[in-house]
């Protein structure tokens, strides 16, 4: 079956694979982390000839037709949507690591689990920089082997990068098809695998998987001589959402990972906030830059411009700036929403809020004279917390 796996990639242009450095044994480095993740053929060397050291990838289960061949090499499949799936994968990683360490003391090497390998970026990029490394592979705190993957079209141009976010906006709606055709029509792909020295974490890194991931990413970046950027899959989903409202993805970077850590929200909650904002401001936001003028924003919500600047956007909007970025718009909602309480509601001029809502463009079906309904309203429209007694 592994021959089928390998020849699938031969048909996509990967005739042979160049390897540099020494591949670590699974007892020395139970987990290998590989970057950058750019193309459909990145996984071709997982089942490299002569199959004496096959790797087991940790991958998402969103590409159903690939799940079967991935299971042939004992892959761990994770769902982006289910927290229980992520928890299971971490536990299974730890189980395999522990069993391998125990088996080296009691049995022959042939009984070991294959090394685990993961793309810690969690999504594809264009290979010009390393994106944010997710901490999952680093939670067990075991040594890892960093791997730099270099994929190039053997002739000219980049027809391989599998980036579902197209910054040029020229291929919106057809980006997936463009990526598939580009990969299938590449006659030959040059794929080089660079095995870097095993990275053993410090005690501090064992306690902090985010620090561990950050430092390993820098090791790969230094070897490849490419920059790093804190862009993530979750940023891409917000950028994609903006494109559905006719906006350009190129100028929207919501810093999703930082917002998750700072305000303890997940992607679903951030997408809801972003969708509400884009829907409310779709006629006033600049589709090319993602900027919205403060005066237009205030008019849209029927609120005072100065009070918004001084209170709602406090510490987020520079004094001499009259335009609101997508990041500032989203973060201000998350920041103010954290502090909404019954005590805050008591300090608001609720009668005035009800009047402003009835006169403006905000649509709310429930009676705002109820404290619970007012609380629910402010969770969606925390901008109205500036209306004080």
- Distance, in Å, from the CA atom of 313 to the CA atom of 75, rounded to the nearest integer, reads 46
Confidence (pLDDT) at 46:
63
Rounded alpha-carbon distances, angstroms, from residue 93 to 86, 110, 239: 11, 19, 32
- Distance, in Å, from the CA atom of 363 to the CA atom of 370, rounded to the nearest integer, reads 17
Confidence (pLDDT) at 60:
65
- Whether this prediction's pTM lies above 0.85 is answered by no
Residue whose pair of structure tokens reads 């289960």 in the numeric block: 61
> Can you give the pLDDT of all 389 residues of the chain as single tens digits?
555 556 666 666 677 778 899 888 877 888 889 989 887 777 766 655 444 455 666 666 565 556 666 666 667 777 676 777 777 788 888 888 887 777 766 655 556 777 788 889 888 887 888 999 999 889 989 999 999 988 877 666 666 677 655 545 454 545 566 666 766 776 777 888 899 999 999 999 999 999 999 999 999 999 999 999 888 888 988 988 998 898 888 778 899 999 999 999 989 999 999 999 999 999 999 998 999 999 999 999 999 999 999 999 999 988 888 999 999 999 999 999 999 998 999 999 999 998 888 887 788 888 888 889 999 999 999 999 999 88
Architecture of domain 2-224: 3-Layer(aba) Sandwich (3.40)
Cβ proximity of 44 and 6 under 8 Å: yes
Cβ proximity of 85 and 54 under 8 Å: no
Q: Domain extents for the chain? A: 2-224, 233-386
Cβ proximity of 6 and 69 under 8 Å: no
At CA 306, angle to CA 301 and CA 308, rounded to 5?
45
């Amino acid at each position: 079956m592994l021959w089928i796996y390998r020849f699938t990639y031969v048909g996509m242009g990967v005739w042979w694979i160049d390897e540099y450095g020494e591949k670590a044994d699974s007892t020395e480095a139970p987990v290998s982390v590989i970057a950058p993740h750019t193309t459909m053929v990145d996984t071709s060397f997982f089942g490299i000839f002569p199959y004496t050291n096959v790797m087991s990838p940790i991958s998402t289960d969103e590409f159903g037709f690939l799940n079967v061949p991935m299971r042939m090499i004992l892959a761990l499949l994770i769902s982006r949507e289910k927290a229980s799936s992520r928890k299971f994968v971490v536990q299974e990683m730890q189980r395999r690591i522990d069993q391998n360490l125990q088996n080296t003391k009691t049995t022959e090497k042939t009984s070991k689990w294959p090394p685990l390998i993961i793309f810690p970026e969690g999504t594809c990029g264009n290979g010009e920089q390393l994106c944010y490394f997710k901490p999952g592979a680093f939670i067990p705190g075991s040594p890892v082997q960093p791997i730099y993957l270099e994929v190039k079209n053997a002739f000219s141009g980049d027809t391989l990068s599998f980036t579902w976010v197209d910054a040029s906006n020229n291929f919106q709606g057809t980006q997936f098809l463009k990526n598939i055709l580009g990969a299938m029509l590449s006659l030959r792909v040059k794929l080089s695998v660079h095995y870097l020295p095993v990275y053993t974490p410090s005690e501090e890194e064992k306690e902090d998987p985010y620090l561990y991931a950050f430092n390993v990413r820098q090791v790969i970046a230094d070897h490849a001589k490419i920059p790093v950027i804190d862009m993530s899959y979750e940023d891409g989903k917000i950028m994609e959402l903006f494109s559905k409202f006719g906006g350009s993805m190129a100028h929207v970077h919501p810093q999703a990972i930082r917002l998750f850590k700072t305000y303890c929200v997940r992607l679903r909650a951030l997408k809801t906030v972003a969708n509400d904002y884009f829907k409310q401001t779709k006629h006033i936001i600049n589709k090319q830059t993602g900027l919205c003028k403060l005066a237009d924003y205030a008019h849209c919500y029927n609120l005072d411009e100065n009070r918004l600047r001084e209170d709602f956007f406090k510490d987020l909007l520079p004094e001499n700036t009259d335009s609101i970025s997508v990041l500032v718009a989203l973060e201000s909602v998350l920041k103010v929403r954290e502090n909404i309480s019954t005590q805050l509601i008591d300090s608001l001029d609720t009668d005035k809020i009800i009047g402003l809502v009835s006169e403006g463009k905000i649509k709310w079906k429930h009676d705002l004279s109820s404290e619970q309904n007012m609380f629910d309203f402010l969770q969606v429209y925390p901008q109205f917390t500036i209306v004080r007694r």
